[in-house]
Structure 1
Amino acid sequence: MLVESMESKEIAGGVILRPLAAADAFALASAYTDNRAHLEPWEPVRPESFFTTEGQAERIDGLLRQRADGAVVPWVFEAADGRIVGAITLSGISRGPFCSSYLGYWVAADQQNKGLASSAVGQVCRIARDTMGLHRIEASTLTENTGSQRVLQKCAFEPIGLASNYLHINGRWRDCRLFQRVLHDHAPVP
């Protein structure tokens, strides 16, 4: 799975979807700092080090090691001015009879309602199907995150249930709506 060697692709409004790189630490720390209040209701409580270049460098190093092991594929959204304005990740990649993964993403506050999330989710689903051979992708949203639910439904994800106390977000256990998208019905590649 050579996802890191894939070409960058414009997803909407001049924003490029590209694989996360080690050199992104400063830009990603800036993006998380700029969007801290915007993302806080939807994310786990983050230590102060998360918002630093050093903290992001350490985090990126871990993600790139997991990518090399085939467990995670992280991308960023890069605006024309070089700013990172979002990210999307396939994690928990499983092969064999499950052949599935989890999807997570975020978009900067100043880039909302421009089609970035829908375009990126659609592109990542194509990569997961055509390049990675995954059968299924699962995503979850907090029950009140109707914007993200609309993105998933627009991208052919179907609701599959409600999970009580599913994720520890913003300091407490939260209920989530679960979604899945079945990408194909081929047998897994041995």
Structure 2
Amino acid sequence: MYHLMEGKKCYLRTLREEDAIRMAFLVGRNRHYWSEFEPRHEDAYYTVETQRERIREILIETSKGREFNFGIFDAKTSELIGNISMYGVKRHPFLSAFVGYSIDKDWAGFGYGTEAVRLVTSFGWKKLRLHRIEAYVSPRNIGSIKVLEKAGFTREGLLRELLFINGKWEDHYMYGMLEHDVKRR
């Protein structure tokens, strides 16, 4: 199942096994940058083999309609600059999913994350027919908070000690967007 979504700054497309080399480079290059807000990984995570296996697993989940993972590519150069996923897809009575994303350190702060989130939420409304899309974000991650708010998400609350990241439990804000929030804009 292949998907392509095009924006002005970037485009999203389903990751394929042949993207494993570029994914290994991306995650390796951002290993320390992303580790501030994400759990640290074993060294094997940063290998081409592990990234290829992750892509295979995600493609299986995609075929079941549970998770959709996309590379974020610069529209001008087609360079892989991040990844974004819609995961935890729940059907009726919820019709909901979560969105999560990571942008390369050199591309952060230029609007790519916001555009990618808008593209993937549009996919959620139009292709998956969702009613609600959610995201978790660390209160310390100001850049990601700005991305979600610019993309139209609303802060709905604080989830105490939600995730165990790098040796300690971390609070996270819960952000959400409903399909009729988009229709109102």
Q: TM-score, normalised by structure 2?
A: 0.92
Q: How far apart in 2 are the matches of 1:134 and 1:173?
A: 30
- Could you tell me the percent identity over the aligned residues? 31
CA offset digits 1:124-143 (Å, max 9, x no partner): 11111011101110101011
1:6 alignment partner AA = H
Q: How far apart in 2 are the matches of 1:46 and 1:81?
A: 29
Q: How far apart in 2 are the matches of 1:11 and 1:120?
A: 10
Root mean square deviation of aligned Cα: 1.5
* Structure-2 residue corresponding to 1:31: 26
* Structure-2 residue corresponding to 1:111: 107
Once the two structures are TM-superposed, the CA of residue 82 in structure 1 deviates from its matched residue by 4.5
2:20 alignment partner AA = A
* Structure-2 residue corresponding to 1:160: 156
CA offset digits 1:109-167 (Å, max 9, x no partner): 10011110100111111111011101110101011111111111111111111011101
Once the two structures are TM-superposed, the CA of residue 20 in structure 1 deviates from its matched residue by 1.4
CA offset digits 1:5-61 (Å, max 9, x no partner): 33341441xx32211111111100000111111111011121111100001011111
Moved runs in structure 1, 4+ residues, more than 4 A? none
Where do 5+ consecutive residues of structure 1 fail to align?
186-190
* Structure-2 residue corresponding to 1:188: none
- What secondary structure sits across from 2:180 in the alignment? coil
Q: How far apart in 2 are the matches of 1:81 and 1:120?
A: 16
Q: How far apart in 2 are the matches of 1:98 and 1:8?
A: 25
Q: How far apart in 2 are the matches of 1:145 and 1:22?
A: 31
Q: How many residues align?
A: 180
Establish whether residue 69 from structure 1 lines up as the match of residue 64 from structure 2.
Answer: yes
Q: Contact between 2:20 and 2:48, CA under 8 Å: does it hold in 1?
A: yes
Once the two structures are TM-superposed, the CA of residue 69 in structure 1 deviates from its matched residue by 0.7
- What secondary structure sits across from 2:172 in the alignment? strand
* Structure-2 residue corresponding to 1:9: 6
Establish whether residue 131 from structure 1 lines up as the match of residue 127 from structure 2.
Answer: yes
Q: Contact between 2:137 and 2:144, CA under 8 Å: does it hold in 1?
A: yes
- What secondary structure sits across from 1:109 in the alignment? coil
Which stretch of the first structure deviates more once superposed, 51-60 or 166-175? 166-175
Q: TM-score, normalised by structure 1?
A: 0.89
Q: How far apart in 1 are the matches of 2:32 and 2:8?
A: 25
2:140 alignment partner AA = E
- What secondary structure sits across from 1:60 in the alignment? helix
